[in-house]
Amino acid sequence: MAKLRAGIDLGGTKVQAIIADARHKIVGEARYATPTTGGADAVVGALVAAVKEAAELAGVETAELAGVGLGAPGDVDDKKGTIDNAGNLAGFDHPVPVAAMLKEELGVPVVRMGNDVSVATAAEFELGAGRPFRSLLGVFWGTGVGGGLILDGQEWSGRGGAGEIGHMVVKEGGARCQCGRLGCMEAYAGRRAMEAEAKRREDEGEKTILFKLMRSRGRDRLTAGIWNRALADGDKVARKVVDRAYVALGAGVASAVNLLDVEAVVLGGGVGTKLGDSARARLEQEMAPHLFNDDRPPQVLLVELGDLGGALGAALLVKRG
């Protein structure tokens, strides 16, 4: 019998671990909050705890696993087994030898790592919405906007930094992005940028229920659910900021399609997944005016693996290894 594999999706807010069998069926899973104090040791501790819990639910010892795959933000170096420059993770401002730490703590023979967005795109390509296609663009709409590319059935990572669709310029001299540059798509469409724009409008006297909703729900940020609620209530600021985000997403994704002529665009990410088909349909609509080959637009689909795509994709890294 083929061995089980673990996959971990490490994000700024959560750690999602799964145990998958040879047919990619999930036989155990666990989710932890990402520690924000305690540095890299605490974060790796959460990875270890999540895998142990998922393995226990699957009825397997971690030492019996074929290996662990990890999708992570920042500079992920699979050869060296390190993660560096992960701004959303406390303690990852220098290379952290995550692979060695996981091997030791879990007793597994193999740890493979990949960029979180690439890993999630590969999962959709192999197991999800991208199965029918040979080329696709994954668009992960969350705090920022990340992109993953499959071209002729292979991941395309360039020199290691491809897929920065959120930093394609959609408006020369436009809004300042979190990255410091002007006019990036993410400066309009990223959840963080949307929140900053709503705040700016409130500060200038426009009325909005967005921040009231945030406080009443005990949240510290404007989640996709809060945006949805405000839109349903006819909140004008929410409407303007969301429209602005879709216009930027449409221009940026259409530009990528004009350059690459992929068969499909697969929309995911925290915001994309939460807003679901309305986001998919609106993205398709906002892309249309910019598509050069407008007689044959790409298919625009939602991710099928949802929240677990990242962890399933991470487990695929082991299969390949």
Nearest to 164 by CA among 187, 136, 181, 186: 186
Question: Residue 292 or residue 320: which is nearer to its own copies going by CB?
Answer: 292
Nearest to 268 by CA among 115, 128, 114: 128
Question: Residue 169 or residue 196: which is nearer to its own copies going by CB?
Answer: 169
Nearest to 52 by CA among 92, 102, 124, 91: 102
Q: In the complex, what is the shortest distance from the CB of residue 126 to its own copies, in angstroms, rounded to a whole number?
A: 19
For 212-247, b where at least 16 C-beta lie within 10 A, e where not — what string? Answer: ebbeeeeeeebbbebbbbbbeeebebbeebbebbbb
Q: Which stretch binds its own copies (CB under 8 A): 2-10, 25-33, 76-84, 172-180?
A: 172-180
Question: Residue 278 or residue 293: which is nearer to its own copies going by CB?
Answer: 293
Q: In the complex, what is the shortest distance from the CB of residue 160 to its own copies, in angstroms, rounded to a whole number?
A: 7
Question: Residue 169 or residue 231: which is nearer to its own copies going by CB?
Answer: 169
Question: Residue 80 or residue 212: which is nearer to its own copies going by CB?
Answer: 80
Does 248 sit near its own copies (CB under 8 A)? Answer: yes
Distance CA 22, CA 98 (A): 25
Site for its own copies in 253-282 (CB under 8 A): 254-256, 258-263
Q: In the complex, what is the shortest distance from the CB of residue 320 to its own copies, in angstroms, rounded to a whole number?
A: 17
Nearest to 117 by CA among 98, 140, 136: 140
HEC profile of 260-311: HCCCEEEEEHHHHHHHCHHHHHHHHHHHHHHCCCCCCCCEEEECCCHHHHHH
List the one residue from 72, 106, 149, 193 that touches its own copies (CB under 8 A): 149
Q: Which stretch binds its own copies (CB under 8 A): 29-37, 94-102, 169-177, 277-285?
A: 169-177
How many other C-beta atoms lie within 10 A of the C-beta of residue 194?
22
The arrangement of strands across the sheet holding 154-155 comes to 154-155, 145-151, 136-141, 264-268, 299-302
* Contact (CB, 8 A) for 29 and 54: yes
Does 192 sit near its own copies (CB under 8 A)? Answer: no
Q: In the complex, what is the shortest distance from the CB of residue 244 to its own copies, in angstroms, rounded to a whole number?
A: 9
Cα torsion for 271, 274, 277, 283, to the nearest 10°?
-10
List the one residue from 157, 178, 304, 306 that touches its own copies (CB under 8 A): 157
**DSSP character at residue 143:** S
Does 93 sit near its own copies (CB under 8 A)? Answer: no
Does 289 sit near its own copies (CB under 8 A)? Answer: yes
Distance CA 149, CA 265 (A): 10
List the one residue from 2, 23, 37, 161 that touches its own copies (CB under 8 A): 161
Nearest to 210 by CA among 240, 192, 230: 230
Size of the site for its own copies (CB under 8 A): 45
Q: In the complex, what is the shortest distance from the CB of residue 192 to its own copies, in angstroms, rounded to a whole number?
A: 16
Q: In the complex, what is the shortest distance from the CB of residue 267 to its own copies, in angstroms, rounded to a whole number?
A: 16
Question: Residue 13 or residue 154: which is nearer to its own copies going by CB?
Answer: 154
Question: Residue 172 or residue 203: which is nearer to its own copies going by CB?
Answer: 172
Binding site for its own copies (CB under 8 A): 135, 147, 149, 151-152, 154, 156-165, 167-172, 174, 179, 181-183, 247-248, 251-252, 254-256, 258-263, 289-290, 292-293, 296
